[in-house]
Amino acid sequence: MKSRRALAILAVIVVMPFYLVFVGQSSVSVWWYATGTSTKAVIEECWNEKTGKSKGPTVCRGSWTLPDGTRRSGKIVGPGKRDVGATMTVRASKEHAAEPGLRLFGYPLLLLVPLFVLFVASRAERQRVATRAKSK
């Protein structure tokens, strides 16, 4: 019993820093969307941010016009390689834009799955302990 608990604590200590970094990176994109102004953007190019190649997780660049008439360009979160050349609705600011969709909101929602699994496992363990205590 104690070794299980120690293993669980160790797993949380090891995994949590990676989890927090991932949550932080995903949150930035969602913040861009939440604080941006709705406009249309043209997706100009997409590439893999780590390798610079066209395969893998993509980062896109495009251009848009803000409501005050200022034409801007920069990183756009959400679109993929198939969207190059397309015009899509985004929420944008001066430096960046975000397109709503699974790529924007899917990762933060996906991060809730491990927390849910840990919660369910914790509840089940408490129930087992309570049942054992009652039977003694």
How many residues does this entry show for the chain? 136
Joined together, the tokens standing for residue 27 give 């949150």
Total number of domains in the chain: 1
Residue 123 DSSP SS3: helix
| Residue-number span of the structural domain to which 65 is assigned | 2-125
In a domain? residue 136: no
Query: For every one of its 136 residues, what pLDDT tens digit does the chain have, with 9 covering 90 and above?
Result: 566 677 677 777 777 777 777 666 666 777 777 788 899 999 999 887 776 665 556 788 999 999 999 999 998 888 888 889 999 999 998 888 888 776 666 666 666 777 777 778 878 888 888 888 887 6
Residue type, 71: R
* Nearest-angstrom CA–CA distance, 116 and 2: 23
C-alpha distances out from residue 77 to 10, 13, 38, 116, Å: 34, 30, 14, 27
In a domain? residue 131: no
Tell if the pTM clears 0.75, that is, is over it: no
Q: Which of 94, 45, 30, 46 is nearest to 67 (CA)?
A: 94
